Amino acid sequence: MTVYQIERRLTNAQRERLAALADVLIAAGAGLPSASQAKVHEKWVDRALSARPDLFDGLVAALDGDDDPALAVDRLKKAQPALFDTLSFVVAGSYLMNPAVTKALGLPGNAPKPKPALPDEADHYLSGGALDPVIARGPIYRPTPDAQPRA
C-alpha cells in the first residue's frame, strides 16, 4: 500500500507576511541576521512545519491580516496569545535551523567533531615517564554523597 502525504505549503503572500512579522520578533543585531535575512520564511519554515505539521493552521491564522507588522504582533500577543505562541515558536525554531545562525550563536550543532585517539597514541603519552606518578598513584575518585562504599 502506498501512502501519499499531502504537504500543505504557505503561499507566497503568506511567506511575505511571515517575513515581515518574523522581523518584528527577531531583528538584526549583535552580529546576527534578522529573521528574514536568515530566510526563515523560505526553506526553514518549510522544514519546521515538516517537523511540526500540527502548527500549520495556527501559523496561517497568525499570518492573517495586512496591518502594520509591529501592530499585528502586538495585537496577537494581547488578544490571541495562542496564535502569538505558535507564530513565535515557528519563527524561533525556523531561525535556529539555519546553520549560519547556530554557528554565529556558537550552539553545539557546530561544535568541533570528536577526534578519537589513534590506536598507538597512548604510547606517545606513556613514553618519557610523564604519566609515571599518575600510574604509580593508582585510581582515585570522590564518591557521590549517596554512593555506598564498595567493599
Residue range 75-129, pLDDT digits in tens: 999 999 999 999 999 999 999 999 999 988 888 765 567 778 888 887 877 788 8
Query: With contact defined as beta carbons under 8 Å apart, do 49 and 90 qualify?
Result: yes
Q: Residue 119: what pLDDT?
A: 83
Q: How far is CA 66 from CA 69, 75, 87, in A?
A: 8, 12, 16
Comparing 2-11, 15-24, 38-47, 137-146, which segment has the lowest mean pLDDT? 2-11
Q: How far is CA 53 from CA 16, 21, 47, in A?
A: 20, 20, 10
Cα–Cα distance, 88 to 83 (Å, whole number) = 9
The mean pLDDT of 39-44, rounded to a whole number, is 96
Q: Is 29 helix (H, G, I), strand (E, B) or coil?
A: strand
Full-model pTM = 0.69
Question: For the chain, how far is it from start to end, CA to CA, in angstroms?
Answer: 60
Q: Residue 147: what pLDDT?
A: 56
C-alpha cell at 94: 525556523
Report the mean per-residue pLDDT for the chain. 87
